Structure 1
């Protein structure tokens, strides 16, 4: 097979699995290769059950177009997947079934990429990189704690008896902060579910895949303990043989598009005092019960704090019910919020149905707090803007993220019990809102500003994240010289 390599620049191919949470950081990673290092980038997008939300995100995030996007053809997994399959199981099957399409797409390229970067659900495609003699990397749009737990779960699988949630002792990972049993990721909640077996296999493939490196959407100083453990042969380094590159934070930029699409909202924010508004959003994939939505409404009202609430209709399904379709229920919030709520709070708050330009909101000077589901994208957006948080984890790895924000970094408060275990009452919500919005002696504001400054420094030339990506750039350049 002949590829045109004449006068070619280094070329990276990136494979993204379905889901906005995966797509956003992958796009930003591609942009960084192009704008900072003059690479060619091809983004392969796996077919998704997502409706309009993901397509709109892909279009808006890649305008103007600075790299090639190849949308792989749709596949039918209905005869493969079991009814009611969990998210990780669905994603793994999709990524498994698209391998032939990916192989064909690469074969048809005029210029062969020097490297293939797959995300955590696409690890089985690393063999394709070997076929075409490409460098191979795994990108995790997550933090170091998540990689550590994923890599070590195959060992925990042999060590731990019974369900992880039922363990009396914390789960210990060499060199890392211990994981409380109630904070494990969703695939570990039921060891009889096929999702768990897919997750264990992901850990095996990461450890044994002979990859050239792992890319993490974090920065060195955010989790120095975990980063040290990856490099220590007596700790996680004995399992993770490939280098771990913290190249984040990779987040969508704020811009004028947010203001134009929500002018009324930003006109209102412009006249609010600095750091006086709490932003409330549970992401594009999380849903709450009717009673919990009611309690949040009352908690906000009782706090008497200004707020912007991106609200979604309640659901009796799981908290990740909207992961793929991004929500499709456009009911008027007045039909499910407490009677008279919007009228009583019309001068102190704004309720927005379904979606809002989050990065533009968080970067506004009037925003002082964020009640968040702790998705990693939202977490990074909050930290980059120096916004304190109320950690309200719902699904996936969000409990792990919430524990990092509260106990590890001290930039968030959290309900006394996990929200997935019980409904959080209005009095507790009121108390948390006041604590985050009123600058007390707990030091949350100063700590979050330190993290903001640290993240910005990491991204600059000479910073840890810039230098980490530069090491990958040099490997790709060397690969190009070898094949030429």
Structure 2
């Protein structure tokens, strides 16, 4: 009789869009290909979640979600690291998670708990309820390799990692200098650093998991792209949470103008305090157009389009007129670029993005602009790297385009019916159905 009840997976996930999107794609594969039910349990701190709710409300009926009661952060300073906030959001939600999980285990056929990489504090609760438990990693295999090597490094090196004289050698990956470690490693005393030592279990490589399509609603930017020459447009977006400083925003705008290349720019209001100022809310508070250089929009009207609202990124990256992507190197955007074969300009901002950028540059699928001593990319550098990528005859740009095209075909192979990713997901799905 139990076999007639659909097996259910409970997923504990951060509300940040960069984590929520790949988990949703994972859930879709479970329900469409393996007949599971999925429920998201979402810890939060009461920050605005309209974008997240819109996304969640569009899901298939076999995917349910529930926001856990908001946790209180009145005891934290305003400048606390975002990784610390996320870790504490999970740990302070454990009591409400316990109630929700116990109820679901009692009333449905729960076969596994899958947690966000920040949520491993929930493992003790899963063991108490005799639930198999897994981590869903939204970052790269390089991040995982680094994560597994970190305990050894922590035990043998006592200084700050940014001062390490030699790069860290990672199995199967490019060596990594300390300045490019994930953000929590830049201060070994913060809560986020301690989180990196949470345990990992058996690994199933089920990615890349990206969105397969979005409703465009006659998007202005897609209509604009339809009128541009093939491969001529540079798409610029720093993700749902990334922000530039006022000065950097100005330098980017003028650099794009100097490059004389076509561009589609998703601009956000700047922040001089944090590169991830809108991580949770995924929306700008002020009109970003007010911060652009005077006359910029008029002077670039013939070759550029600047938008401040949501854009259908998948459709932009798959559009024939898109020839490059200036990106923050968030892993979702990176995978979406690879799947669609769009070469990159890497501009990392926070989290593990510097690590991703180093890897992409080493793979020769991305160009990297040079930051000055103040951490800024200046207008001349921006103009030069944009020209290099978008110039159809330049050797360096051609190399990046060719390498990305090769990687696109490799990705298609692992996602095919007989590909390694598909087989790996089948393996874990069978394990959950037949424990």
Do they superpose with TM above 0.5?
A: yes
Q: Is contact 2:262–2:304 with CA below 8 Å preserved after alignment?
A: yes
Structure 1 residue 83: Cα displacement: 4.8
Query: Aligned equivalents of 2:99 and 2:7: distance in 1?
Result: 21
Q: Deviations over 1:220-260 (max 9, x none)?
A: xxxxxxxxxxxxxxxxxxxxxx2x211111112223x2243
1:460 partnered with 2:412: no
1:445 partnered with 2:401: yes
1:14 partnered with 2:11: yes
What's the counterpart of residue 177 of structure 2?
180
The 5 A counterparts of 1:222-371 are 242=202, 244-255=203-214, 257-260=215-218, 262=219, 264-331=220-287, 333=289, 335-371=290-326
What's the counterpart of residue 74 of structure 1?
70
Paired residue secondary structure (1:155): helix
Query: Aligned equivalents of 1:466 and 1:357: distance in 2?
Result: 26
More deviation in 346-355 or 64-73?
64-73
1:57 partnered with 2:13: no
Structure 1 residue 6: Cα displacement: 5.3
Paired residue secondary structure (2:404): helix
Question: How many positions carry a matched residue from both structures?
Answer: 429
Query: Aligned equivalents of 2:181 and 2:373: distance in 1?
Result: 13
Q: Is contact 1:19–1:48 with CA below 8 Å preserved after alignment?
A: no
Structure 1 residue 10: Cα displacement: 2.8
1:129 to 126, 131, 140: 126
C-alpha change, 1:75 and 1:280, in structure 2 (3 Å) is same
Q: Is contact 1:75–1:98 with CA below 8 Å preserved after alignment?
A: yes
What's the counterpart of residue 216 of structure 1?
none
C-alpha change, 1:50 and 1:358, in structure 2 (3 Å) is farther
Query: Aligned equivalents of 1:74 and 1:416: distance in 2?
Result: 41
Paired residue secondary structure (1:88): helix
Structure 1 residue 106: Cα displacement: 2.1
Tell me the TM-score normalized by structure 2: 0.94
Q: Which runs of 5+ in 2 are unaligned?
A: none
C-alpha change, 1:421 and 1:53, in structure 2 (3 Å) is farther
What's the counterpart of residue 95 of structure 1?
90
Structure 1 residue 365: Cα displacement: 1.1
Structure 1 residue 13: Cα displacement: 1.4
Q: Is contact 2:114–2:136 with CA below 8 Å preserved after alignment?
A: yes
What's the counterpart of residue 406 of structure 1?
361
C-alpha change, 1:288 and 1:148, in structure 2 (3 Å) is same
Query: Aligned equivalents of 2:411 and 2:10: distance in 1?
Result: 26
Q: Deviations over 1:371-426 (max 9, x none)?
A: 1111101111111111111000010000000011111x111100123x79521111
Query: Aligned equivalents of 1:300 and 1:65: distance in 2?
Result: 44
Q: Is contact 1:20–1:57 with CA below 8 Å preserved after alignment?
A: no
The 5 A counterparts of 1:133-212 are 133-174=130-171, 176-199=173-196, 203=197, 205-207=198-200, 211=201
What's the counterpart of residue 33 of structure 2?
36
Query: Aligned equivalents of 2:270 and 2:424: distance in 1?
Result: 42
More deviation in 450-459 or 437-446?
437-446
Paired residue secondary structure (2:216): helix
1:426 partnered with 2:379: yes
Query: Aligned equivalents of 1:272 and 1:99: distance in 2?
Result: 51
Structure 1 residue 357: Cα displacement: 2.0
Query: Aligned equivalents of 2:303 and 2:407: distance in 1?
Result: 29
Cα RMSD (Å): 1.9
Q: Is contact 2:232–2:322 with CA below 8 Å preserved after alignment?
A: yes
Paired residue secondary structure (1:400): helix
C-alpha change, 1:176 and 1:411, in structure 2 (3 Å) is closer
Query: Aligned equivalents of 1:388 and 1:102: distance in 2?
Result: 42
Query: Aligned equivalents of 2:28 and 2:230: distance in 1?
Result: 32
Structure 1 residue 450: Cα displacement: 1.4
C-alpha change, 1:371 and 1:194, in structure 2 (3 Å) is same
Query: Aligned equivalents of 1:84 and 1:32: distance in 2?
Result: 38
Paired residue secondary structure (1:114): strand
Tell me the TM-score normalized by structure 1: 0.85
Query: Aligned equivalents of 1:421 and 1:472: distance in 2?
Result: 47
